[in-house]
Amino acid sequence: MMKKKNLDISSIDPYNSDLTFFNIEEEESNETLKALKQSYVTTNYKEETILNLQNTLKSSSEDTSKELKIESYKNYNEALNLASRNYITTATETIEKALELNPKDVDILNLRGLLKLLKCDFSKSFESFYTAMCYSNNNLSRKYVDILSSDEFKVFLGRYNHS
């Protein structure tokens, strides 16, 4: 069960690292995972750069940055509440708002990944979990990256796409 975000502005670390790295090895043994990683990096590099620039402009002061994070936490909590009541489409729309405000928050990315998985948008789900894993190597992200890049999931996806 995912927990709600604390809305206390004093608990936000303004010096949190935004460094993103993508570990793609040429000798990756899992071809599906390698292809997904390469596709993600290629197709989303420009979008991430634009998002980063937009957020830099939005966050001209430390207070503004904290306010944006608090607003993103409110959206996250609302999406979590909606999802728990099975309003998945509305929860997905709400988590997208949170992600626009705070695109590097691991909890927001993980919740987005779960919601996209429930909506059977497997590529967006993988994108969210993989991005979250790059920012913070956490168990939830790793679990779903492993599942979505497994041979069993590849078989499932083939059957799903042909049905």
- CATH number, domain of 156, equals 1.25.40.10
Please check whether residue 3 lies inside any domain of the structure. no
Domain boundaries, position 138: 32-162
Rg (CA), the chain: 16
Please check whether residue 6 lies inside any domain of the structure. no
Identify the sign of the CA torsion 89, 91, 95, 97: positive
Q: Is 6 helix (H, G, I), strand (E, B) or coil?
A: coil
Instruction: Tell me the pLDDT tens digit for each residue of 104-118.
Output: 999 999 999 999 999
Q: Per-residue confidence at 19, pLDDT binned at 50, 70, 90?
A: very low
Please check whether residue 147 lies inside any domain of the structure. yes
- The whole-angstrom separation of Cα 132 and Cα 105 is 8
Please check whether residue 49 lies inside any domain of the structure. yes
Q: Per-residue confidence at 3, pLDDT binned at 50, 70, 90?
A: confident
Look up residue 23 and give its DSSP letter: -
- The whole-angstrom separation of Cα 150 and Cα 102 is 29
Asked if 133 and 156 count as a contact pair (C-beta separation under 8 A), the reply is no
pTM of the model: 0.66
Number of domains in the chain: 1
Please check whether residue 1 lies inside any domain of the structure. no
Q: How far is CA 120 from the centre of its chain?
A: 15
Token duo for residue 30: 């899992």
Q: Which has the minimum average pLDDT: 32-36, 41-45, 72-76, 119-123?
A: 41-45
Length of the chain in terms of residues written = 163
Percent of the chain with pLDDT over 70: 63
Please check whether residue 41 lies inside any domain of the structure. yes
∠ CA(53), CA(100), CA(1), 5° rounding?
135
Please check whether residue 132 lies inside any domain of the structure. yes
